[in-house]
Amino acid sequence: ALVAALAKELQQAAPVMETLVKDLKPAPNPPQPAPAASGQYTQQDYPMLEKHRDAIRTPTGKTVDDITLESVLEGKVTMADVRISPEMLRAQADIAQDAGKPAMGENLRRAAELTQVPDEEVIRMYDMLRPNRATKAQLLELAKTLETQYHAPMCAALVREAVEVYEKRGILKAG
């Protein structure tokens, strides 16, 4: 029933959505070269939608052109199809780094690592990182989990750094 109701809502919104989608699609551009031999993107590659449209893929492998209102209504596009891939986050990180924004680049690289972590686990981790919500041991265990189970060394390092700061500020949960 919920799916039918959503489908009906989408059909009613179709004319507006078609206009929006049409506005998002840029005029065809000549193909751009792939990133430098180093495999890194630069400021010159921004915006990727215009300059590397064919390189943009979702985690399920869909392209930007595969995601249309029609494909959504037909059930060919799922929520997994509209998530950003770790590769795209790393590409954006390369661009930020090249543009002189290293902090943004690091944040995007950590976000790329977190794409491998289930949503519920990310929420749980976020809650643990709030002041006075976790003990030092719990946060160190969280860092270990990030590193070993999810292969997220940058996120693990950030949690370990937070432990040091929380300890100095006295905002670790007693335990």
Tell me the per-residue pLDDT of 75-85, one tens digit each, with 9 for 90 and over: 999 998 999 99
Give the pLDDT band (50/70/90) at residue 175.
confident
**For residue range 145-159, what is the model confidence (pLDDT) as tens digits?**
999 999 999 999 999
Segment 15-22 shows an average pLDDT of 53
Task: Specify the higher pLDDT residue, 136 or 4.
Answer: 136
Place of tokens 């399920």: 60
Mean pLDDT of 4-29: 54
Over residues 25-43, mean pLDDT: 58
Rounded average pLDDT over 131-149: 98
Say yes or no to pLDDT of 165 above 60.
Answer: yes
Mean of pLDDT over the chain: 86
Distance CA 76, CA 59 (A): 15
pLDDT score of 30 more than 80: no
In the predicted structure, residue 95 carries a pLDDT above the cut 50: yes
Name the pLDDT band for 122 (thresholds 50, 70, 90). Answer: very high
Taking the model in full, what pTM does it have? Answer: 0.76
Q: Residue 12: pLDDT above 80?
A: no
User: Poorest-confidence range of 24-38, 124-138, 145-159?
Assistant: 24-38
Nearest to 52 by CA among 73, 29, 68: 29
For the chain, state the CA radius of gyration. 20
Is residue 163 predicted with pLDDT exceeding 70?
yes
